[in-house]
Amino acid sequence: MNDFLLVQMIAAERLQTIHESKHTVLSELKNSLAGVSGEQRTAALLNRELDLTGDSVLLRDVNIPYKDGTVQIDLLLVHSECICVLEVKNMIGDFYFDTVNYQFHRVVDGRREGMRNPEAQVHRAIKAVNGFLGVPVHGVIVLTSRSGKVIEAPKLYPVVSLDYLPFHLEKLANRSELFDVAKLTSKLEKLPPQNFSKSWLMRHQIGFDSLRLGVTCPTCRTCSLIWQGRKWHCAACGFCSRNAHEVTLQEYALLYGRELDTRLAYQLLGVENKYVLYRLLEKSAPKSQKRGKRQIVENRELLRDYFSRVYR
- Binding residues (CB under 5 A) for Zn ion: these are 217, 219-220, 234, 236-237, 239
Round to whole Å and give the CA distance between 195 and 200: 9
CB 241 → Zn ion: shortest distance, Å?
Answer: 10
Output 200 or 239, the one with its CB closest to Zn ion. 239
Q: Give least dist CB 239 to Zn ion, A.
A: 5
Is-contact 224 258, C-beta < 8 A?
no
Q: How far is the CB of 269 from Zn ion (least distance, A)?
A: 16
- Residue 282 exposure: Cα atoms within 13 Å on the Cβ side: 7
Q: How far is the CB of 283 from Zn ion (least distance, A)?
A: 24
Q: For residues 146, 147, 152 and 154, what is the CA-based torsion angle, rounded to 10 degrees? A: -50
- In the complex with Zn ion, the residue whose CB is nearer, 219 or 273, is 219
Determine which helix (DSSP H) or strand (DSSP E) holds 61, and give its type and residue range: strand 56-66
Which CB sits closer to Zn ion, 11 or 217? 217
- Cβ-in-10-Å burial (0-12, 13-18, 19+) of 280 comes to buried
User: Considering the complex, what minimum distance in angstroms separates the CB of residue 8 from Zn ion?
Assistant: 22
Q: Which stretches of the chain are DSSP H helices?
A: 3-14, 22-49, 118-133, 165-172, 181-189, 197-203, 245-256, 262-269, 274-281, 300-310
Other beta carbons within 10 Å of 171: 9
Give the strand pairing for 111-115 and 93-97.
unpaired
User: Which CB, 181 or 220, lies closer to Zn ion?
Assistant: 220
Rounded Cα distance, 41 and 58, in Å: 13
Toward Zn ion, which CB reaches closer, 120 or 220?
220
CB of 235 to Zn ion, least distance (A): 8
Provide the minimum distance between the beta carbon of 301 and Zn ion in the complex, in angstroms, as a whole number: 23
Q: What is the dihedral of CA 170, 171, 172, 176, to 10 degrees?
A: 80
